[in-house]
Amino acid sequence: MTLRSLVMRRATNLSATLLMGLATLMVLLPLGIIFYHIIKMGFSSINPGFFTSIPKPPGEAGGGMANGMAGSAVMIGMASLVGVPVGIFGAIYLTEYGGGRLATAIRFSADVLSGIPSIITGMVAYTLLVVPMKGFSALAGSFALALIMIPIVLRTTEEQLKMVPVSLREASLALGVPLWRTSLKVTLRSALTGVITGILLAVARVAGETAPLLFTALGNQFWSNKLTEPMAALPLQIFNFAIAPYEDWHRLAWGGALVLVVLMFTLSLAARWLGRSKH
């Protein structure tokens, strides 16, 4: 091998290395810029009133997103009430009885379901709930969010349950504990932190979902205290205010974005912390 070719090879290696580093920088740069804007714009528009009052009409300064935050909390809560048990019990079925073709079909469906664009979930919730109930409602919004949560909770729970050693289940069964008690009190109990991690991630995911709420919960400029009426949600408000031509509303949107991002990161940090303390 000639010296020249070795130099060439080294040069190629160096430039490839530089390109990889450059690619990484270009990937992380938008992250930095976006965070800079969210933090800068978000903090300047958040004040105590932001958390306690509802949006003001365009042109009036001030106002907040209290109704959006409350609405999001309500709908996420209701979605969890449906999505978490369905996901967890479905996962228990797959681990306890899931050898057959039905289980394979269910796993496949969960994967397919999690790949469906969330706007389509919204359309289906619309035809299933909004049309028969003759109106947009928080109920329909929660239903759409639940549909998104189910496959996430199911697959993470199943993974966690599978990691519980067989020896623990056998120990319980050999003591004459019925399978259902063993499933709940030994298997699920042992996997609990992992399962909670999965739930937190699922909540973080749906907390930012906007598309499925567009024609289910619809959004609301005011407080609503009925589940059968349109309800405000934080991501919906961010969307509506961002595309509106009013400076004050833009400011609110940035504030909402900051709240949402802080919520997401709190949830995913909590999930990570839980996941770590287990090992």
Site for another protein in 137-156 (CB under 8 A): 147, 150-151, 154
- Residues whose CB falls within 8 Å of the CB of residue 249, separated by 6 or more in sequence, listed in order: 55, 58, 240, 241, 242
The answer to whether 156 and 193 are in contact (CB under 8 A) is: no
Q: Which is nearer to another protein, 173 or 274 (CB)?
A: 173
Using alpha carbons only, what angle is made at residue 38 by residues 32 and 42, rounded to the nearest 5 degrees? 155
274 binds another protein (CB under 8 A): no
Is the CB of residue 148 less than 8 Å from the CB of residue 209? yes
How many residues sit in the footprint of another protein (CB under 8 A)?
105
User: For the chain, how long is the longest CA-to-CA vector?
Assistant: 81
189 binds another protein (CB under 8 A): yes
116 binding another protein? (CB under 8 A) = yes
By CB under 8 A, residue 110 contacts another protein: yes
* Distance of closest approach, residue 186 Cβ to another protein, in angstroms: 7
Instruction: Give residues 46-65 in contact with another protein (rule: CB under 8 A).
Output: none
Given 73, 111, 266, 278, the residue binding another protein (CB under 8 A): 111
Tokens of 158: 């199943």
| Footprint (CB under 8 A) of another protein, residues 191-250 | 204, 207-211, 214-215, 218, 235, 238-239, 242-243, 250
Q: Is 109 exposed, middle or buried (0-12, 13-18, 19+ CB in 10 A)?
A: middle
Distance of CA 193 to the CA centre of its chain: 18
Report 63-92 residues binding another protein (CB under 8 A). 85-86, 89-92
* Per CB under 8 A, 3 contacts another protein: no
H/E element, 168: helix 166-174
In the complex with another protein, which residue's Cβ is closer, 48 or 176? 176
> What minimum distance in Å lies between the beta carbon of 261 and another protein?
7
Query: What span, in angstroms and rounded, lies between the C-alpha atoms of 124 and 145?
Result: 12
Question: Measured from the CB of residue 74, what is the shortest distance to another protein in angstroms?
Answer: 18
Beta bridge partners of 231: 218
Q: What binding mask, one character per residue, do residues 9-38 give for another protein by CB under 8 A, x or -? A: xx-xx--xx-xxxxxx-xxx-xx-xx--xx
Residue from 67, 72, 80, 121 touching another protein (CB under 8 A): that is 121
Question: Could you tell me the smallest distance in angstroms from the CB atom of residue 221 to another protein?
Answer: 15
Quote the CA–CA distance of 241 and 2 in Å, as a whole number.
Answer: 65
Asked if 102 is part of the footprint of another protein (rule: CB under 8 A), the reply reads yes
- The structure tokens listed for 101 are 């073709």
Residue 269 as a binder of another protein (CB under 8 A): the answer is: no
Residue in the structure block whose two tokens are 């365009």: 58
In whole angstroms, the minimum distance from the beta carbon of 54 to another protein comes to: 19
Q: Which residues pair with 63 in a beta bridge?
A: 55
